[in-house]
Amino acid sequence: METQGSYVALGLKVWKAQIERADKLFGGLSSQDVLREIAPGRNRLIYLWGHLTATHDAMLHLLKIGEPLHPEFDVAFISNPDKSQAAIPSHEQVRQAWNAIDGELWTGFEKMSWSDWLQRHTAVSEEDFAKDASRNRYAILLGRTNHLSYHLGQAGLAVK
């Protein structure tokens, strides 16, 4: 029991460390700053922040914590590229959504036992999970943490 808990605690520790980096990086930006591109012609900071927010929102359902808080972010920040939509959520809306979703996820994480993390996530069928038990909630945690790191590396280029 104790050792399984260690792996889960480590996965959560790394998640939290990246979330704190993101809070620090995005949280300190002005409404002018967030319109900056990470490199000429590339995504703007607000798009990356919205993209991470929307990705984390989807985790609520994937991990059976709850339903997405902001499904409308999908059109603006996942299914379409930056600068393709006439209107996207404002800087303030992204900030509020990020904080709310992050809080909701963490509350959910704290309620999960180590064995919950090895259960299937909702995007895999029971049949497929029976064939490959690695498609579990812990895999989502590790994968999304790396997704966050990937975009943090990019966002850092626009703020240093």
Query: What gap in Å lies between CA 87 and CA 85, rounded to an integer?
Result: 5
Nearer to a copy of itself, 7 or 90 (CB): 7
Residue 10 found at the interface with a copy of itself (CB under 8 A): yes
> What is the footprint of a copy of itself within residues 46-105 (CB under 8 A)?
none
Per 3-state DSSP, the chain is made up of helix, strand and coil in percentages (nearest 5) of 65, 0, 30
Nearer to a copy of itself, 25 or 88 (CB): 25
Residue 26 found at the interface with a copy of itself (CB under 8 A): no
Do 41 and 83 form a contact (C-beta atoms < 8 A)?
no
Do 57 and 94 form a contact (C-beta atoms < 8 A)?
no
Helix intervals (H) in the chain: 2-27, 45-62, 73-77, 91-111, 126-131, 137-159
Among 16, 36, 61, 147, binds a copy of itself (CB under 8 A): 147
Residue 9 found at the interface with a copy of itself (CB under 8 A): yes
| Residue ranges in contact with a copy of itself by CB under 8 A | 3-4, 6-11, 13-14, 18, 38-40, 42, 114-115, 118, 133-134, 136, 138-139, 142-143, 145-147, 149-154, 156-157
